[in-house]
Structure 1
Amino acid sequence: MIDSLDIHKVFLVGKDFGARVVFHFALLHPNRVLAVATLGVPFLLTGPGTFPQDLLPKGFYMLRWQESGRAEADFGRFDTKTVVKNIYILFSGSELPAAKDDEEIMDLVDPSTPLPAWFTEEDLANYASLYENSGFKTALQVPYRAWLEEYGVEDIKIKVPSLLVMGEKDYALKFSGLERFISSGMVKEYVPNLEITFLPEGSHFVQEQFPEQVNQLIIDFLNKLV
């Protein structure tokens, strides 16, 4: 695609599971990437030996959604708009979403819970209409059912300048040592040229919660490269 547009290098931005996509591209084609920015998720190793299933709650949403058909059955009890609403409510919190043995992930949301203040009914309608057309198949495949797949390269190091933006109240920071992985500098073993910014009141959806601030961080980062 970038060849057809006669573009030599690209600046890649990935949110959540999109982080794996842009990092994978940077590993495979480092000479075609100017820089990488990710929101909500840092660089992470993949493969069977790097996914700490034994350290996660039994009913953790990622484990549940790895099971073929389980999320489909759970989501299928509701209309698309309700599923999207529940996801935004659930993943705007600061706790790891995990269900009991007699629960599914959608059961964790009280139907009376309002949307986050920064997510409007218009936003919800627009997102729901998109998922009405696409379904949730791809969203479940990447990353939940593809997490154990290797990157397929020997040199696991992102060699281009990178930016990570996360909210300090992002539930993902409680994910099996993820906060320590970032704050200790361990992440820079794989992404040596990395800038990290935490937004104090930010949730997992920092780009929607604070769009102007996140945009400015990305613009400032780009300006340093040109």
Structure 2
Amino acid sequence: MEHISHTHVEVNGLKLHVAEIGTGPKVVLFLHGFPQIWYTWSYQMIAVAKAGYRAIAYDFRGYGLSELPAEPEKGGFIDLVEDTIALLDTLGISKAFLVGTDLGSFPAYMIAVLYPERVTSLVSLGVPFRLPGPRDDIDLMPEGFYCKRWQEPGRAEADFGRFDVKTVIKNIYILFSGTKPPTAREDQEIMDMVDPSTPLPPWFSEEDLAVYASLYEKSGFRYSLQVPYSTNVADYGGEGLCS
């Protein structure tokens, strides 16, 4: 793989891990989802750099190699917006192409609304734009739907805590490579939906799994379950990513 440089940048009192490649005058900033980290974008970063752009991806606060905030239970999407703007300021970048996926789409949308002068263009994967405000979509989902389970205080933490980090990551990628979102039976936890003998999806290698596991060994899942799943996102609307 092409050389991607790594550094830590102090942003809003936290040291955030930043990956970068390319030296073009135009910047593409990649915003990851869950259970993703900067590495999710590694191949896209290389392609973008070869096309003449400066490609940047960073681990959100509490994810991967970035520092965990002192009070993770108070985290929200607006923190990711403020971190992203502060990171651009620190790096001396006035405008960027934003590419967000999953939870990363929300700060991308919010930045485009709140700071339109900082956005050249925006690409979103997996999550459509929606206006701020309460939503009741989650109420239409069955009780075993993964979002409902992961929004219950302590339930996902207890479910994940029965396994090592590598197994949790493997299970999540197996579950979400299926044709339907994970929905457990009443007597079943989300992690128990995966047969241990199930192989990884063909697009997710053992090397990829090892990288993800090593980074989540450092950060744990405390903040990544708070944001996006358990946070009161009055700053965007609803109760977490799925509502």
| Shared fold (TM-score, shorter chain, > 0.5) | yes
Q: Which residue in 1 is equivalent to 2:226?
A: 141
Q: 2:119 aligns with which of 33, 49, 67?
A: 33
SS at match of 1:149: coil
Which of 108, 124, 132 lines up with 2:209 in the alignment? 124
1:24 has 2:110 as partner? yes
Could you report, residue by residue, the CA deviation over 1:195-226 in whole angstroms, capped at 9, with x for unpaired residues?
xxxxxxxxxxxxxxxxxxxxxxxxxxxxxxxx
- 2:65 counterpart residue number: none
Q: For 1:6, give the aligned amino acid.
A: G
Which runs of 4 or more aligned residues in structure 1 lie more than 6 Å from their structure 2 counterparts after TM superposition? none
Q: Give unmatched runs, 5+ long, in structure 1.
A: 153-174, 177-226
Cα deviation digits, residues 72-119 of structure 1 (max 9, x gap): 000001000000000000001111211111111101111111100111
Cα distance in 2 between the residues matched to 1:38 and 1:118: 21
Task: Determine the C-alpha separation between the residues in 1 that align with 2:117 and 2:206.
Answer: 42
Deviation at 1:139, TM superposition (A): 1.8
The secondary structure found in structure 1 opposite 2:159 is helix
Query: What secondary structure does 1:128 align onto?
Result: helix
Does the aligned pair in 2 maintain the 1:47–1:147 contact within 8 Å? no
- What one-letter code is carried by the residue in structure 1 that aligns with 2:109? F
CA shift, 1:2, in A, is 1.9
Bigger RCO of structures 1 and 2 (CA < 8 A, at least 6 apart): 1
What whole-Å deviation, never above 9, does each CA across 1:135-168 have from its counterpart, x for those lacking one? Answer: 112221222113643438xxxxxxxxxxxxxxxx
SS in 2 for 1:38: strand
Please, which of 91, 95, 100 is the counterpart of residue 5 of structure 1? 91
Paired residue for 1:82?
Answer: 167
Work out the CA distance in 1 between the residues paired with 2:223 and 2:139. Answer: 26
Is the CA contact 1:19–1:39 (under 8 Å) kept in the aligned structure 2? Answer: yes
Question: Aligned ranges for residues 49-60 of structure 1 at < 5 Å?
Answer: 50-60=135-145
**Under a length normalisation based on structure 1, what TM-score does the superposition of the two structures give?**
0.63
Indicate if the aligned counterparts of 2:100 and 2:123 stay in contact, CA closer than 8 A.
yes
What TM-score do you get using the length of structure 2 for normalisation? 0.59
Alignment of 1:211-226 (within 5 A): none
Structure richer in strand, relative to its length: 2
Counterparts of 1:100-179 in structure 2, within 5 Å, are 100-146=185-231, 148-151=233-236
Q: 1:66/1:101 Cα in 2 relative to 1: closer, same or farther (>3 Å)?
A: same
In the alignment of these two chains, the number of paired residues is 153
The 10-residue stretch of structure 1 (69-78 or 134-143) with the greater mean CA deviation from structure 2: 134-143
Residue equivalent to 2:158: 73
